[in-house]
């Protein structure tokens, strides 16, 4: 199955952010895990006398993050939460992280809880997996390189899938698939009509499973679709792009972009964008 949705993060978009002491890289999952894992990623930082800013933007995903410098295996991995706003971290200490980025609608298959359970208080992986989490972290820290780490992780994730009696597509997964296909430009009413579900029950389902409303998730998906358009094929006019994604005018588009990224489009893409007025 070809994935319609591939989220982006600032270190990929803004290559100029990276340097000899600050690295970020993404790796594709195997075919068997493509429906569940957006990517694996590594982030490494070595201080050079000043802090490094690391920006994270909403991407409709939730991560298992392994701290390769953790003091103990039990505290070596933790769960992120589903973000609906950007965050900027000031890195000042040495950092070496490995991440597993799950699509939010299927993360429950591996995390044994709905994504909503992690809102506000992301737990350690050991709280969910017990001693198996410690064994995984230990094995990853002893790996000879990133490729071996990925092999270890994929063996673990595929094992979780095999142990589940069923992981067929439910209402949530079907709903999010429609949002991906529409690049987020689908109202809650239209989505409910498409899947023959009431708006009220659809909102309840999203809130219970993901901790966000279908409107909020669709806006994040639309934002990521916009990023892809700007990153891969900058438009001749921003106004045309704004209208294509359902914005009334360019200022509304710019305001929405800044809400999720924290910067103006021109600050991210520079001369790749047409000259225009941004507010």
Q: What is the pTM for the complete model shown?
A: 0.92
What are the φ/ψ torsions at residue 8 (nearest 5 degrees)?
A: -115, 150
Residue 279 confidence (pLDDT): 40
| DSSP per residue, 137-175 | HHHHHT-SSHHHHHHHHHHHHHHHHHHSS-----HHHHH
Within 10 Å of residue 178's Cβ, how many Cβ atoms?
Answer: 14
Torsion of CA 191, 193, 194, 196, to 10 degrees: 120
What residue segments make up the domains of the chain, in order of their start? 10-163, 168-218, 234-279
DSSP state of 29: P
- CA–CA–CA angle 246, 36, 256 (5° rounding): 25
Residues 6+ apart with CB under 8 A from 194: 178, 186
DSSP-derived letter for residue 207 is: H
Structure tokens at 92: 């000042």
Sheet strand arrangement including 22-27: 22-27, 37-45, 95-103, 61-67, 77-79
User: In 10 A of CB 90, how many CB atoms?
Assistant: 9
User: What's residue 240's pLDDT?
Assistant: 83
Q: Quote the tokens at residue 42.
A: 């590594």
- Average pLDDT across each block of 10 residues of the chain; the chain has 279 residues. List them in order: 80 85 95 95 90 93 94 92 94 93 95 90 90 95 95 95 74 95 95 96 96 97 94 79 87 93 90 53
Inter-CA distances, 250 with 89, 123, 237, 238, 253, Å: 29, 40, 10, 7, 5
Half-sphere CA count of 127, side-chain side, radius 13 A: 12
Instruction: Name the token pair of 251.
Output: 């200022």
Q: At which residue do the structure tokens 């949705």 appear?
A: 5
Tell me, what's the pLDDT at 165?
61
- Which pLDDT score is estimated for 168? 60
Structure tokens at 152: 């270890």
Residue 242 backbone dihedrals phi, psi, to 5 degrees: -60, -45
Q: From the CA atom positions of the chain, what is the Rg in Å?
A: 19
Report whether 56 contacts 221 (CB < 8 A).
Answer: no
> pLDDT at position 269, please?
85
């Amino acid at each position: 199955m070809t994935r319609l949705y591939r989220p982006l993060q600032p270190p990929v978009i803004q290559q100029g952010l990276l340097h000899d002491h600050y690295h970020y890289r993404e790796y594709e999952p195997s075919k068997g895990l493509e429906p569940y894992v957006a990517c694996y990623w590594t982030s490494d930082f070595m201080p050079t006398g000043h802090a490094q800013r690391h920006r994270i933007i909403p991407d409709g995903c939730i991560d298992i993050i392994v701290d390769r410098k953790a003091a103990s295996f039990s505290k070596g991995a933790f769960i992120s939460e589903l973000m609906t706003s950007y965050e900027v971290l000031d890195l000042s200490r040495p950092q070496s992280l490995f991440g597993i980025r799950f699509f939010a609608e299927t993360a429950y298959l591996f995390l044994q809880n709905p994504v909503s359970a992690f809102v506000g208080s992301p737990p350690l992986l050991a709280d969910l997996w017990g001693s198996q989490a410690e064994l995984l972290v230990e094995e990853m820290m002893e790996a000879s390189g990133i490729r071996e780490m990925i092999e270890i992780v994929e063996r673990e994730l595929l094992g979780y899938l095999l142990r589940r009696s069923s992981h067929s597509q439910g209402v949530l997964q079907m709903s999010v698939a429609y949002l991906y296909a529409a690049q987020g430009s689908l109202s809650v009413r239209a989505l409910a009509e498409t899947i023959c579900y009431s708006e009220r029950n659809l909102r309840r389902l999203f809130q219970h499973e993901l901790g966000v409303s279908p409107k909020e998730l669709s806006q994040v998906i639309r934002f990521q679709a916009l990023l892809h358009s700007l990153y891969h094929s900058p438009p001749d006019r921003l106004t045309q792009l704004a209208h294509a994604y359902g914005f009334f005018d360019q200022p509304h588009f710019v305001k929405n972009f800044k809400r999720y990224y924290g910067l103006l489009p021109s600050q991210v893409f520079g001369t790749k964008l047409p000259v225009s007025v941004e507010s």
